[in-house]
């Protein structure tokens, strides 16, 4: 097949490209080489020479139409995914570009047989909970006053009895709580509904936290793996926010790529949305231990720092049964992801510059707060 990957110079896109090339497909990438992911707007060295690379923005109709010509399938992975309060840009890049893909396919009668779009676990917000009587609820973000007191667990709203317990969350839930998650809900809806209406097989992939090499050191959203690995690399203990018992869901990039290829080939995936997660609940504290062990800091004993990030999800874990029903399952461990990331970090040009950038970014975002004592 002849395939277009938007955002194909990035983390998931470039690994997907490699796997498609290995299967004998032709790959074109449309990517604007955004900073800070691509410092100096340089084409990353890991991009395979067999890829036809087009530098351009997915919001540019002419560029997008050119890139869609003579293609059989599209992976739409380009996205704006920062924590910055430039709210409109999330919709501009993530949603309008998705609508434009369908507009061009329909208007120009392009013979594209599959569109696969990247969604995110951020569409779930705090995910599904049960109260003490087993009654389901979809909580809101935790109030600032509660967090300031160091009370981390989500409190039962009127009509529900505590304690609340997090549950694996299925694809039926949509409860986004930030601009990124809302844009991703809209992106999936555009793809699945326009796809169905115009007979263009479409699939939405809700990735959990994807881990592995090539993930930008500069992306604020790349979270715990980046931050903990950078700390350990510098000989500094990772900072644990809240009590470290937050549940997270990590998936190795090669497992995410296997899911991407499966839904390309399997018609049972058409017009469906899938969670792509690690199928294993891991606490932040456990993850910090894994990272420090791999970096050889075996005496490290993770302790809460008394700090927290306002707006963080307390617990989130995606139920991946639906995708497993098509024969996929995550095959790589968290340890393998961290090992591979460590090697990637060892090859980085300037770790000091990265840490300095991260510190500046965190200060500018003003999301890290201290518990009132
Ligand atoms: N990495 C994760 O953990 C994760 C989790 C959930 C969802 N996702 C989604 O998966 C997709 C890929 O994520 P990633 O981690 O590979 O990100 P990434 O930042 O590594 O790659 C994204 C690529 O898109 C390009 N891009 C951004 N804006 C563009 C534009 N306007 N026009 C053209 N290209 C543009 C960037 O230059 C970059 O190369 C995104 O849609 C993201 O929202 C990722």
Ligand 1 atom nearest to CA at 14: 16
- Check residue 220 and give its pLDDT: 63
pLDDT, tens digit (0-9, with 9 covering 90-100), for 90-138: 999 999 999 999 999 999 999 999 999 999 999 999 999 999 999 999 9
- Check residue 221 and give its pLDDT: 59
- Check residue 82 and give its pLDDT: 78
Q: What is the mean pLDDT of each run of 10 residues along the chain (373 residues)?
A: 98 98 98 93 97 98 98 98 88 98 98 98 97 98 95 97 98 96 98 98 98 86 81 88 96 98 98 98 96 92 90 96 98 96 86 73 79 83
Q: Which residue's CA lies nearest to atom 23 of ligand 1?
A: 7
- Check residue 11 and give its pLDDT: 96
Domain limits at 348? 2-370
Around ligand 1, the residues with Cβ closer than 6 Å are 6-7, 9-13, 31-34, 37-38, 57-59, 77-81, 93, 118, 120, 207, 209-210, 216, 219
Tokens encoding 104: 């061009």
Strands in 77-120 per DSSP E: 114-120
- Check residue 222 and give its pLDDT: 59
From 4, 6, 8, 10, mutation site for ligand 1 pocket: most ligand atoms within 8 A of C-beta = 10
Q: Which residue's CA lies nearest to atom 10 of ligand 1?
A: 118
Report the candidate in 236, 237, 210 with the shortest Cα–Cα distance to residue 221. 210
How many angstroms separate the alpha carbon of residue 118 from the centre of ligand 1?
Answer: 8
From 4, 5, 6, 12, mutation site for ligand 1 pocket: most ligand atoms within 8 A of C-beta = 12
Report the candidate in 150, 162, 202, 216 with the shortest Cα–Cα distance to residue 349. 216
CATH number of the domain residue 311 falls in: 3.40.50.720
pLDDT, tens digit (0-9, with 9 covering 90-100), for 211-233: 999 998 887 655 788 889 988 98
What's the total number of domains in the chain? Answer: 1
Distances (CA, A) of 350 to 175, 324, 357: 39, 40, 11
């Amino acid at each position: 097949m002849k395939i277009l990957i938007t955002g194909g110079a990035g983390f998931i896109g470039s690994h997907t490209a490699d796997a498609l090339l290995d299967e004998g497909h032709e790959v074109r990438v449309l990517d604007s080489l955004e900073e800070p992911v691509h410092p100096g707007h340089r084409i990353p060295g890991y991009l395979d020479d067999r890829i036809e690379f087009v530098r351009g923005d997915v919001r540019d109709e002419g560029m997008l139409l050119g890139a869609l010509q003579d293609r059989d399938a599209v992976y739409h992975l380009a996205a704006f995914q920062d924590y910055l309060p430039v709210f409109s840009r999330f919709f501009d890049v993530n949603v309008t570009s998705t609508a434009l893909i369908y507009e061009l396919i329909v208007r120009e009668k392009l013979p594209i047989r599959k569109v696969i779009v990247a969604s995110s676990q951020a569409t779930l917000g705090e995910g599904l909970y049960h109260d003490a009587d087993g009654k389901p609820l979809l909580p809101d973000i935790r109030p600032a006053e509660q967090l300031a007191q160091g009370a981390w667990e989500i409190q039962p709203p009127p009509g529900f009895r505590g304690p609340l317990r997090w549950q694996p969350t299925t694809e039926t839930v949509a409860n986004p709580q930030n601009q990124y998650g809302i844009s991703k809900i809209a992106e999936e809806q555009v793809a699945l509904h326009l796809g169905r209406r115009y007979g263009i097989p479409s699939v939405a992939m809700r990735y959990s936290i994807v881990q592995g090499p090539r993930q930008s050191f500069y992306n604020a959203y790349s979270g715990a793996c980046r931050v903990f690995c950078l700390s350990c690399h510098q000989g500094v203990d990772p900072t644990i926010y809240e009590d470290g018992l937050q549940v997270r869901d990590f998936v190795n990039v090669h497992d995410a790529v296997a899911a991407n290829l499966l839904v390309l080939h399997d018609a049972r995936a058409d017009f469906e949305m899938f969670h792509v997660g690690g199928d294993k609940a891991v606490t932040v504290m456990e993850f910090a231990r894994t990272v420090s062990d791999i970096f050889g800091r075996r005496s490290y004993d993770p302790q809460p720092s008394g700090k927290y990030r306002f707006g963080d999800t307390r617990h989130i874990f995606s139920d991946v049964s639906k995708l497993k029903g098509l024969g996929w399952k995550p095959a790589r461990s968290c340890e393998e992801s961290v090992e591979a990331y460590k090697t990637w970090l060892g090859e980085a040009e300037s770790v000091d510059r990265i840490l300095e950038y991260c510190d500046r970014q965190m200060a500018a975002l003003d999301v890290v707060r201290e518990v009132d004592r």
